Amino acid sequence: MTTVSTLEQLDEFLRTTETAPTDDDRRSAWASLKVETGVFRGFPESLAAMDPYSPAYAAKVDEFMRFLHGGDYALASEGFDHDLTPMLKVGFPHSSRSPSTVGCYLMSYGYIIRAMNLPVPSKILEIGCGTGSLSIHLARMGYDLTAVDVNRNFADHVAKVCEGSPGKVTTIASDMNALDLPAEYDAVLFYESFHHSYDHPATIAKALTFLKPGGLLVLAAEPVLPAQRDVLPYPWGPRLDGETLRAIRRFGWMELGFTEAYLFELLMRNGLAFRRLSSGETHWADLIIANRVPTLRAGESYPCSLGAAGALMLATGWSAPESWGTWSKGPCAKLLLDLSDAAFAKGATIDFDVMPFLPPTLAEQRVAVSANGRAVAEWIFPQAEMTQGWKAVQRSARIEATDIGPAGRVVLEFAIARPTSPQEAGLSEDTRKLGFALARFTAR
């Protein structure tokens, strides 16, 4: 562990890491860094006390970035300002010459392609393509790819390396927030690029205008942390680990990080439900796949099974959908509903078919239900309902007109009193903390 207490000591530490013999040695050195909190002049404490969705918070982040970099952020700084020929000839990640780095990145490319599960030739917009290390795999798959990067050299290089691929490839040099494209894409994909956006809320809003109905927004290999910690002691802002501080101080790059709670709320504010997937092998094989929530129609049944319409409304706190429905996972699960249909002008009642998970040691399970923060129901599942042979039981929640938010959006939150894993109950090796399963629901 290396501890620094001034910016000068930080710079000296970063200079020494540049001479490390291998990529693995550099990453190991950066990971060993600890910066004393006083170095940051109270910025983390200020940000932690502010509303992360407010303009004042964004302004404070800009001020913090100027302090860390020693000057104003410039979009032109994104990319590299030195000769890229050796690296471009070999291509990243191979240019790192690290078995660990190369192996992890290659696994992540395959994981992302499999998780998106888009038929060929779907149209993919990759924003922030860099030198095309993922782009080339998408092009060789046969996807119709539009690859965008703010760095003209990168965009031109991607066009060159993708020549002759079965997929159509178009490259654009542009700021991600200045793009003007039609709504024709099956997926808008960010791979290690979304966190470089100096105005990421605007980036999400802009990206949604490029998607066709049913299209996916994919955030892959982005620094989204489960909770605040030393390297990100606020909802979002510059990360404070060694590798990130090097990128900010040396190159002036925008290097943001996000907590799950902040980013998930931001996605829901944009009418997006989502799921987070990870291979468990490497943090580069981690992605958030989001989709627009369909508008609820009165009397229509919404199954929550794999590929069904109800599953598109599952926001956070759910396991992967299965052929019959979806289990809650953990102490809290959220459902994002679009009640903008005129039929719900006076509110709605949502009827659910659910299956509680109650091991023999649990007499009952309680689930508190709220709509946009207001308590609307309490579900009590007695042990007797667990002994019915895994048959669904019925529960309801009433949403008043005053509970419905802008654009008809309602976040139904289910707070589960005692989620329990099958492993804890001695039933299987399944470690998921289950509360209940959602089979289907209907609005009236």
**What contacts 403, CB < 8 A, 6 or more positions away?**
347, 371, 372, 374, 376, 410
Q: Characterize 252-280 residue by residue with b for buried, 16 or more Cβ atoms within 10 angstroms of its Cβ, and e for exposed.
A: bbbbbbbbeebbbbbbbbbbbbbbbbebe
Are 240 and 325 part of one and the same domain? no
Beta strands in 82-154 (DSSP E): 123-127, 144-149
Question: Distance between CA atoms of 136 and 119, rounded to whole angstroms?
Answer: 17
Of 291, 317, 347, the one marking the end of a domain is 291
Are 361 and 241 part of one and the same domain? no
Q: Confidence class of residue 124 from pLDDT cuts 50, 70 and 90?
A: very high
- Please state, for a pLDDT cut of 70, what percent of the chain lies above it: 97
Are 199 and 276 part of one and the same domain? yes
Question: Distance between CA atoms of 338 and 302, rounded to whole angstroms?
Answer: 13
Lowest mean pLDDT among 101-110, 242-251, 307-316, 384-393: 384-393
Q: Let me know if residue 32 belongs to a domain.
A: no
Of 291, 306, 324, the one marking the end of a domain is 291
Q: Confidence class of residue 243 from pLDDT cuts 50, 70 and 90?
A: very high
What pLDDT does 389 receive?
A: 64
Q: Let me know if residue 23 belongs to a domain.
A: no
The pLDDT of residue 301 is above 60: yes
Question: Distance between CA atoms of 123 and 168, rounded to whole angstroms?
Answer: 9
What pLDDT does 127 receive?
A: 98
Write the pLDDT tens digit of every residue in 195-213.
Answer: 999 899 999 999 999 999 9
User: What value does the mean pLDDT take over residues 304-333?
Assistant: 95
Question: Distance between CA atoms of 168 and 146, rounded to whole angstroms?
Answer: 8
What pLDDT does 180 receive?
A: 95
The strand pair at 236-238 and 256-259 is best described as antiparallel
What pLDDT does 1 receive?
A: 84
Write the pLDDT tens digit of every residue in 52-66.
Answer: 999 999 999 999 999
Are 397 and 273 part of one and the same domain? no
Q: Confidence class of residue 290 from pLDDT cuts 50, 70 and 90?
A: very high
Strand order in the sheet with 123-127: 169-173, 144-149, 123-127, 185-191, 211-220, 286-292, 272-278
Write the pLDDT tens digit of every residue in 400-410.
Answer: 999 999 999 99
Write the pLDDT tens digit of every residue in 423-433.
Answer: 998 889 999 99
Domain count across the chain: 2
What pLDDT does 384 receive?
A: 83
The domain in which residue 308 lies consists of: 295-443
Question: Distance between CA atoms of 368 and 131, rounded to whole angstroms?
Answer: 49
The pLDDT of residue 87 is above 70: no
What pLDDT does 85 receive?
A: 65
Q: Let me know if residue 26 belongs to a domain.
A: no
Write the pLDDT tens digit of every residue in 212-223.
Answer: 999 999 999 999
What pLDDT does 23 receive?
A: 86
Write the pLDDT tens digit of every residue in 165-190.
Answer: 999 999 999 999 999 999 999 999 99
Burial of residue 7 (number of CB atoms within 10 Å: 0-12, 13-18, 19+):
middle
Looking at per-residue pLDDT, the higher value among 350 and 307 belongs to: 350
Q: Let me know if residue 6 belongs to a domain.
A: no
User: What value does the mean pLDDT take over residues 107-129?
Assistant: 97
What pLDDT does 76 receive?
A: 74
Give yes or no for a contact between 236 and 53, defined as CB atoms under 8 angstroms apart. no
Are 350 and 379 part of one and the same domain? yes
Burial of residue 305 (number of CB atoms within 10 Å: 0-12, 13-18, 19+):
middle
Question: Distance between CA atoms of 71 and 190, rounded to whole angstroms?
Answer: 27
Q: Let me know if residue 31 belongs to a domain.
A: no
Comparing C-alpha atoms, which of 117, 166, 116, 161 is closest to residue 135? 161
Are 126 and 234 part of one and the same domain? yes
Are 279 and 312 part of one and the same domain? no
| CATH code of the domain covering residue 163 | 3.40.50.150
Q: Let me know if residue 43 belongs to a domain.
A: no
Of 291, 316, 344, the one marking the end of a domain is 291
Q: Residue 286: beta bridge partners? A: 278
- Please state, for a pLDDT cut of 90, what percent of the chain lies above it: 83
Question: Distance between CA atoms of 22 and 114, rounded to whole angstroms?
Answer: 31
Neighbours of 291 (CB within 10 A): 21
Write the pLDDT tens digit of every residue in 347-390.
Answer: 999 999 999 998 888 899 999 999 999 999 999 999 887 655 66
User: What value does the mean pLDDT take over residues 145-173?
Assistant: 94
Give yes or no for a contact between 290 and 265, defined as CB atoms under 8 angstroms apart. no
What pLDDT does 7 receive?
A: 92
Q: Let me know if residue 12 belongs to a domain.
A: no
Are 67 and 205 part of one and the same domain? yes
User: What value does the mean pLDDT take over residues 10-19?
Assistant: 90
Question: Distance between CA atoms of 219 and 242, rounded to whole angstroms?
Answer: 23
| CATH code of the domain covering residue 330 | 2.60.120.260
* Mean per-residue pLDDT over the chain, rounded: 93
